[in-house]
Amino acid sequence: MRFPERRPRPAPVAPEVAEIPLGIRRAAAWSWRLLLIIAGCWVVLQGMSHIQVIVIPVLVAVLLAALLGPIVTLLARHTFLGRGSAAMIVLIGLILVVTGMSTLAGQQLLAQYADIEDKAVSGFVQLSAIVVERLHLDQPTIANAQQALLDKLQSNSQQLIQGALTGVETLGSAVTGTLIALFTLFFLLKDGELIWRWILRLLPRRSRVVTHEAFRRGWRALSAYVRTQILVATINGTGIGIGIAALGLGSYGVPVFLIVFLFSFIPLIGAVVSGIIAVLLVLVLKSWVLALVMVAIVIGVHFIEADILHPFMMGRAVSLHPLGVFLGVALGAETAGIAGALFAIPLAAFLNATILQFSGNDPNPELGVDSRTAAFVAARAKDLRGVNLTLPGLSRRAPRPPRR
């Protein structure tokens, strides 16, 4: 005869606490925990804002490592190169590609600068004449407006000088950040697995395998997102660059490609800004009719990318709803500006896959369990058995497993 199991009795509470409804007590328990989480996130963000010259390059290096890591693994596995040599070759290739594209775009822009300046001035004069004619403005009114603008610039000359100095400091920070990003990227490509195992050793032994499996899912989602964004940016830049060339501005194809490519990494906002730049270029250098054609080209390219190619390429790797993408970009831009908008969605993709794994909903069951890391963790635990653990004033042995 089996007796029913006894349920543990609830812990006694004080009478004044028992008078509070259970729903309010639970809401209060959730509230102070959520407040602690929000406060912790706020402290972390504030701390990162003071060292963003280091944080942003490191995050850029992480994204590039997610993109270039498979190439390094392929070279190290199927050639005579070691991991370090393969990482160096991939890094040098990345630098050469970026430098070559930037140099080519800069040369084309400098070669066409005089033409852009002349047509921009001519267009501004024509626009001013149309405004004067339509609004029936007289010459004294225009002269007064010009004098007011000049006085405003003279009164704010100190702020303009400070802005120029800030620009010089920003350029120095950009150079420093580039060096930090390249240095970090090399070691992530070369010793990424060793760095991650070192981090795993800081965790309790029972949590290492679980954390590693969650990290694998998050890293896969992050890698899929970066690869997809590279492909999306290439498609956008190529489509709009071909449109620019078809409208008779083939010499601006490479600069427009680079502008659209870079802005495409900022979800939602980047597509709008890069499209406006392309349309304004056609408007200044050609006519408003061709500018309308360019608007149609930009809309068509982004429609094909967003509604047809993007869902197909992203697949199940990054299951983020468009509303989540929009709110993530808005939150990132509000908290950290352009950098926040850039890193919001990769971070959301990583956290989404990681949290799903921790909650028992494996987003990638085909990955299985990493037997190498599980064996590494088990070997580390076995090595620690019987080792003297010495602390100040305390010396003992690690407990041995019970004999069977």
Residues 309-367 have pLDDT tens digits of: 666 665 555 667 767 777 777 788 777 777 787 888 888 888 888 888 888 888 778 88
The verdict on 238 and 355 lying in the same domain is yes
The verdict on 316 and 243 lying in the same domain is yes
Residue 397 lies in a domain: no
Closest by Cα among 350, 335, 256 to 297: 256
> What are the start-end ranges of the E strands in 23-177?
none
pLDDT surpassing 90 at residue 89: yes
The verdict on 311 and 230 lying in the same domain is yes
Residue 396 lies in a domain: no
pTM: 0.71
Closest by Cα among 353, 324, 344 to 224: 353
Q: What's the pLDDT at 204?
A: 86
First to last CA, the chain: 32
The verdict on 251 and 184 lying in the same domain is no
Q: What's the pLDDT at 61?
A: 92
CA distance 217 to 211: 10
Query: Cβ distance 230 to 67 under 8 Å?
Result: yes
Mean pLDDT over 170-198 rounds to 87
Mean pLDDT of the chain: 77
Closest by Cα among 282, 255, 259 to 123: 282
44: Cβ contacts below 8 Å, ≥ 6 apart: none
pLDDT surpassing 80 at residue 300: yes
Mean pLDDT over 183-190 rounds to 93
The verdict on 143 and 246 lying in the same domain is no
Domain hosting 281: range is 210-362
Q: Which two tokens stand for residue 94?
A: 């990345």
pLDDT surpassing 50 at residue 2: yes
The verdict on 243 and 352 lying in the same domain is yes
Query: What does the longest C-alpha to C-alpha distance in the chain come to?
Result: 107
The verdict on 338 and 261 lying in the same domain is yes
Residue that wins the pLDDT comparison between 276 and 270: 276
Q: Decide which of 144, 168, 202 is a domain's last residue.
A: 202
DSSP class of residue 136 equals T
Residue 11 lies in a domain: no
Residue found under tokens 């071909």 = 242
> What are the start-end ranges of the E strands in 140-208?
none
Rounded CA Rg of the chain: 29
Q: What is the pLDDT of residues 367-395, one digit of tens each?
A: 888 777 777 777 766 655 554 444 344 34
CA distance 291 to 289: 5
Query: 401 in helix, strand or coil?
Result: coil
> What are the start-end ranges of the E strands in 131-256?
none
Confidence of residue 96 (pLDDT cuts 50, 70, 90): very high
Query: 201 in helix, strand or coil?
Result: helix
pLDDT surpassing 50 at residue 397: no
Closest by Cα among 185, 176, 172 to 95: 185
Side chain identity, residue 110: L
Closest by Cα among 107, 81, 105 to 92: 81
Side chain identity, residue 374: A
Q: What's the pLDDT at 193?
A: 87
Closest by Cα among 362, 324, 359 to 345: 324
Residue 353 lies in a domain: yes
The verdict on 217 and 145 lying in the same domain is no
The verdict on 66 and 194 lying in the same domain is yes
The verdict on 278 and 304 lying in the same domain is yes
Residue 150 lies in a domain: yes
Confidence of residue 88 (pLDDT cuts 50, 70, 90): very high
DSSP assignments along 87-111, one per residue: HHHHHHHHHHHHHHHHHHHHHHHHH
Residue 226 lies in a domain: yes
Side chain identity, residue 49: S
The verdict on 232 and 284 lying in the same domain is yes
Residue that wins the pLDDT comparison between 265 and 130: 265
- The percentage of residues in the chain with a pLDDT greater than 90, rounded to a whole number, is 10
Residue 15 lies in a domain: no
Residue 8 lies in a domain: no
Closest by Cα among 59, 151, 123 to 287: 123
The verdict on 216 and 239 lying in the same domain is yes
Helix (H) or strand (E) holding 388, with range, is: strand 388-391
Give Cα separations from 388 to 41, 73, 205, 361, 401 (angstroms). Answer: 38, 38, 18, 40, 15
Q: What total number of domains does the chain contain?
A: 2
